[in-house]
Amino acid sequence: MTREVCTTAGTPHAHRRAGGSDDPWSAALAAAFRLEYGVCFRLALRVVRERWLAEEVVQEAFLAAWQHGPTRFDPRRGPLELWLITLTRHKAIDAVRHAEHVKRVRRHEEAELHSATSKELTEDLLLRSQAADGLRDRIRSLPVAPAAGPTACLLGGAVAVADRSMRRDPAGHGEDQDIGRSPSLTHPAP
């Protein structure tokens, strides 16, 4: 097959040389595919830089040529090969732009997720800080016990009072007084 086969897509000569298909455009495109696939693939690979994507680009270019070629290809503007190469170049550029768009969208979504997570963490820390401030205020409002007198401590909702100045017996047990709800919460003094 010669290059002239592709540039004369609508002639009966191209139809016969391309394999006898009923559609002259399909026959000419099939011949162009066999002749120009390598050129189109190398161009696409140079633009997109990934082999699998270059193959996809060439397939898309030839599919678009097959679907829309009879209405969009004008042999007065140049040969079919150049039109296919141009079409491949445009599809490759579109693929790169699409990949960049997808990356931008993913980065934006990750930034939003990080921002939302940071905002939730900030709100959580703020709520904890406010709760801690409230607890500190309640502790400050408690009456102050004398240093040598009984010391109150909250244990499971019961109040136990231990006299720090208690004497210990030789066995090491204290003589605690329990004024709380549960007599089992008495503890030896330190």
pLDDT of residue 13: 41
Return d(Cα 69, Cα 9) in angstroms, integer: 11
DSSP 177: B
Residue ranges making up the domain that contains 54: 1-142
Q: Is residue 33 part of a domain?
A: yes
pLDDT of residue 65: 95
Distances (CA, A) of 15 to 79, 86, 140: 16, 24, 98
pLDDT of residue 188: 54
How many structural domains comprise the chain? Answer: 2
* Helical residues (DSSP H) of 49-184, grouped into ranges: 51-72, 80-140
Same domain membership, residue 38 and residue 12: yes
Distances (CA, A) of 149 to 58, 114, 164: 91, 53, 7
Same domain membership, residue 106 and residue 43: yes
pLDDT of residue 39: 97
Q: Is residue 181 part of a domain?
A: yes
Lookup: tokens for 178: 């329990």
Same domain membership, residue 112 and residue 53: yes
Q: Residue 82's domain is classified under what CATH number? A: 1.10.1740.10
pLDDT of residue 5: 38
DSSP 185: G
Q: What is the pLDDT of residues 110-164, one digit of tens each?
A: 887 777 677 777 777 777 878 888 777 888 888 876 555 555 555 544 555 554 4
Return d(Cα 65, Cα 61) in angstroms, integer: 6
Give every residue of the chain whose pLDDT is below 50, as ranges.
1-19, 156-157, 163-167, 176-182
